[in-house]
Structure 1
Amino acid sequence: MSYRFLIADDHPLFRAALRQALSAVASDAGIEEAESLSKAKSALLASADFDLVLLDLGLPDSEGFTGLMALRHQHPSVGVAIVSAQEDVVVMRQAIALGAVAYIPKSEPLPSIVEAIRTALNGHTWLPQSAKELSGNPAEAQLAERIASLSPQQYRVLCMVADGKLNKQIAAELEIQETTIKQHVSAILRKLGLINRTQAGVLLRSLQQGGRLQS
Structure 2
Amino acid sequence: MRVLIVEDHRELAETVATGLRREGMAVDLVLDGEDALYHTSVHRYDVVVLDRDLPGISGDDVCRSLVNGGYPGRILILTAAGSLADRVAGFEYGADDYLPKPFAFDELVMRIRALARRPATAIPPTLVHGGLRVDPARRTASRDGRRLDLTPKELAVLEILLAARGTVVSAEQLLEQAWDEAADPFTQTVKVTVSRLRRKIGDPPLIETVPQAGYRIAALS
Please name the residue that 2:86 is paired with.
91
Please name the residue that 2:14 is paired with.
16
Please name the residue that 1:154 is paired with.
none
Change (3 A) 1:66 1:9: same
Q: Which has the higher strand share?
A: 2
Please name the residue that 1:196 is paired with.
none
Please name the residue that 2:74 is paired with.
79
1:35 matched to 2:7? The reply is no
In the comparison of the two structures, how many residue pairs are matched?
A: 119
Please name the residue that 1:115 is paired with.
110
Distance 1:21 1:44 in 2: 21
Which amino acid is the alignment partner of residue 65 of structure 1? Answer: D
1:65 matched to 2:63? The reply is no
**How far off its partner does 1:64 sit?**
6.4
The sequence identity of aligned pairs, in percent, is: 21
**Root mean square deviation of aligned Cα:** 2.0
Q: Please give the TM-score of this superposition, normalised by the length of structure 1.
A: 0.50
Distance 1:93 1:118 in 2: 22
* 1:27-74: CA deviation from partner (whole Å, max 9, x where unpaired): 1x2211111111011111222x11011111111013462221012112
Distance 1:84 1:22 in 2: 19
**How far off its partner does 1:115 sit?**
1.8
**How far off its partner does 1:111 sit?**
1.6
Q: Secondary structure at the match of 2:82?
A: coil
Which amino acid is the alignment partner of residue 13 of structure 1? Answer: E
In the alignment, structure 2 segments of 5+ residues that lack a partner are 120-221
Please name the residue that 1:151 is paired with.
none
* Aligned residues of 1:22 and 1:117 also touching (Cα < 8 A): no
* Aligned residues of 1:95 and 1:103 also touching (Cα < 8 A): yes
* Aligned residues of 2:33 and 2:58 also touching (Cα < 8 A): no
Distance 1:121 1:21 in 2: 17
Q: Please give the TM-score of this superposition, normalised by the length of structure 2.
A: 0.49
Change (3 A) 1:52 1:64: closer
In the alignment, structure 1 segments of 5+ residues that lack a partner are 125-215
Q: Which has the higher helix share?
A: 1
